[in-house]
Amino acid sequence: MIEFKDVRKSYDDGKEIIKGINFTINSGELFVLIGPSGCGKTTTLKMINRLIEPTSGKILIDGKDITKGDPIELRRNIGYVIQQTGLFPNMTIGQNIEIVPYLKKWPQQKRRERTMELLRLVGMEPEEFINRYPNELSGGQKQRIGVIRALATNPDVILMDEPFSALDPITRNQLQDELFDLQQKLNKTIVFVTHDMDEALKLGDRICIMKDGNIIQLDTPEEILKNPAHGFVENFIGKNRIWSNPDYIKAEDIMINNPVKANPKRTVLQAIEIMKSNKVDSILVVDGDEKLLGIATSKDMSKKEGSKKLEEIMETDVITAYNDDTISEILKIMDEKGVGFLPIINKEKKLVGLITKSSLITVFSKLYS
C-alpha cells in the first residue's frame, strides 16, 4: 500500500507543483494518474521512487516512510517503465532484463532463468530474442522488454510513466491488453501515468484526475463516468464518453424507478383504474415483498370479468433483466426476445425498475440534445 499524506512539492522559484495531496493506493491495484500537461501527475509518480523529493509531507510504502531509507535501494525494489523504454543499446536483451538482478547480486543461473521466464510471459521466445540488441526490435517489442525488465526482481510496486504513448494505435492497444492480462496474473501494485482517458478507463481500477497540482476527483472509472465531480472532469473525460463505453452503463442508471405495479389480489377493475390514472397499458404484479410475480396487460383484461383477480389472469413467464446488467446486455435481450420493455429485478428477484424502448429514446435524446 502506498500513502500520500499532505505531500507538497515546490521549486526554488517558489512555484508549488504539488499542493498538499492525500490519497492511498491499495496493494494489487492498478492506479492511474491522469490530467493535462503540467498538472503534476509525473511529479507525483517520481516522488514514489524518490527521483523527485517532496518538499513536505510523507509518502509511505507498507507503512514505512520512504525518506528514511537509501533511495538507491528503494529504486531497486520498485519497477520503473518509461515511454522511451530506457534500454541500454550496447547490451543484449538478456543483459538489459538482468541489470537489476545483477546489481542485487543474483547468481548468473538464477538471472538467466528469470529472464527466460519473463520473455515467455510476453510471448517472446528466449532462443530468438535473448541475444538480440534493442535496435533489432520493433517499438512494441522494446516496450515489452521495458515492462518485463521492471518485473525482473518481482517487485511489489511498479511505476509506469506513459509507457505506451509513443506507439502506434494498434501496438498500443495490444500492449494495453497484455498489461491488463499480466496484472490479472501477477497482482502487482501499479501506478500508471497517462494523458489518454481511453487508456485510463481501459486499465485503471481507480483513476486520479489532477489539475494544477491538486486532485480533482479520485474514483473508479464507472463512478467518474457516471458522476463527474467537477465541470473540469466532465470536460476532460468528454461529455458523451460514457455512451461510447456501454459496459459502464447499468440498467439501474437508466431505468424507470417507480413502475406501475399492483398486488396479485387486485381485481381487473381496480387494475384498469390504476393503469388509466398512470396512462399505461400494462401493470406489473408483485407480492408483499416486492418480488415480481407476473404482468397483466390491458389486452389480457379486455375480455375478463371485472371481479377476476390479477393472479388469475396475469402472464407469469416474464422476460426480465438485472439491475446491474449493462445497456449492451439490455439491448441484446430486447432484440433477441423481441420485447419492447424489460422489468428490472435485483438478485433477490425484487422489482426495482422498468426499461422500455420509449424510455431509452428519452435518455438518448436528453443526452444529445
Q: Where are the domains of the chain?
A: 2-248, 252-368
Q: What pLDDT is stored for residue 243 in this prediction?
A: 58
Instruction: For residue 262, give the H/E element and its range.
Output: strand 261-262
How many residues are present in the chain?
369
Handedness of CA 238, 244, 245, 246 (dihedral sign): positive
Given pLDDT bands bounded at 50, 70 and 90, which one contains residue 149? confident
- Cell numbers representing residue 365 in the block: 435524446
CATH code for 2-248? 3.40.50.300
Q: What pLDDT is stored for residue 59 in this prediction?
A: 93
Given pLDDT bands bounded at 50, 70 and 90, which one contains residue 368? low
- Cell numbers representing residue 85 in the block: 523504454
Q: Provide the 10 A C-beta neighbour count for residue 303.
A: 8
Query: pTM, whole model, 2 decimals?
Result: 0.67
Mean pLDDT of the chain: 87
Provide CB contacts within 8 A for 360, sequence distance 6+.
Answer: 254, 331
Say if residue 253 is exposed, middle or buried (CB neighbours under 10 Å; 0-12, 13-18, 19+). middle
pLDDT for 152 beyond 90:
no
- CATH 3.40.50.720: does it fit domain 252-368? no
Structure confidence by residue, pLDDT tens digits, 29-65: 999 999 988 899 999 999 999 999 999 999 999 989 9
> CA 164, CA 34: separation in Å to the nearest integer?
14
Say if residue 196 is exposed, middle or buried (CB neighbours under 10 Å; 0-12, 13-18, 19+). middle
- Judge whether 52 and 40 are in contact, CB under 8 Å: no
pLDDT for 358 beyond 80:
no
Q: Provide the 10 A C-beta neighbour count for residue 336.
A: 9
pLDDT for 239 beyond 70:
no
Helices (H), ranges, the chain: 41-48, 71-76, 93-97, 99-103, 108-121, 126-129, 139-150, 169-186, 197-203, 221-226, 231-237, 251-254, 268-278, 298-301, 310-313, 327-337, 357-368
> CA 331, CA 308: separation in Å to the nearest integer?
35
pLDDT for 117 beyond 80:
yes
Structure confidence by residue, pLDDT tens digits, 191-223: 999 988 888 888 888 999 999 999 999 998 888
